[in-house]
Amino acid sequence: MVGGDCATFAPDPEPAPDEPEEPQIPAVITLADIASFVPTSPSVSTEPDGIAAKNMPMNSIAGSEAHTVAGDLFGLPVAVTFTPAGFRQDWGDGTVTESGTGGASWSALGQAEYTPTATSHAYAQKGTYALTITAQYTAVVDFGPYGTRPVDGIVSAPGASREIRVVEVHTALVQSDCTENPAAAGCPA
């Protein structure tokens, strides 16, 4: 200090806080991106329960619901919502079918037992088969404050299996004359 003049020193200004960078989320989310998110397997039941008559329709019923799986994707916490879109039935005898729904019981459909449904199958040979039903889902990833993105493609859940024993049925009671109506209930097809 010289001659009574005071020098003042201003502290360095606080640096401005860095604005968080917007995360780099791809415009298209692929099945490979969400491979670690596994949807729930469907429930599986059959009519009759675990048994089928050779050459007669056996009805399958699969159930699944929309559900959400949490995890991390691209370094962000996310929630992946899976919504049922269809079902794939591998009947275990070389036949594979697909349906838009999991099916319903004969009574819920208003149908007689052993009549064809959208989710039924008639086995041509006696034996034991593994029926495997796979649920197919659409998926949407929720990135929280950064929005949602649909997943490109259909996600398949691990298949649920059910053992089916196919037997040959011989019956003496018939609904009508099998000569006149070979497709009548109880008539050999």
Amino acid identity of residue 43, one-letter, is S
Burial of residue 138 (CB within 10 Å: 0-12, 13-18, 19+) is middle
For every one of its 189 residues, what pLDDT tens digit does the chain have, with 9 covering 90 and above?
555 555 566 666 666 566 667 788 888 999 999 999 999 999 999 999 999 999 999 999 999 999 999 999 999 999 999 999 999 999 999 999 999 999 999 999 999 999 999 999 999 999 999 999 999 999 999 999 999 999 999 999 988 899 999 999 876 655 566 667 777 766 666
How far apart CA 7 and CA 62 sit, in angstroms, is 84
Q: What is the pLDDT of residue 40?
A: 93
pLDDT value at residue 117: 96
The pair of three-digit structure tokens given for residue 43, joined into one six-digit string: 């429930």
Nearest to 157 by CA among 98, 82, 94, 99: 82
- 103, 61 Cβ separation under 8 angstroms: yes
- pLDDT at 95 (0 to 100): 97
Per-residue model confidence (pLDDT) at position 139: 97
- How crowded is the C-beta side of 119, counted as CA atoms within 13 Å? 26
CA distances from 148 to 29, 82, 90, 145 (A): 10, 13, 33, 9
pLDDT of residue 15: 61
Residue 19 is predicted with a pLDDT of 63
Q: What is the pLDDT of residue 176?
A: 62
For residues 40 and 68, give the distance between their C-alpha atoms in angstroms, rounded to a whole number. Answer: 10
Alpha carbon 111 to its chain's center: 26
Among residues 101, 112, 12, which one has the least CA distance to residue 61? 101
pLDDT value, residue 159 = 86
* C-alpha 13: how far from chain center: 58
pLDDT number for residue 21 = 75
Residue position matching structure tokens 């039935």 = 89
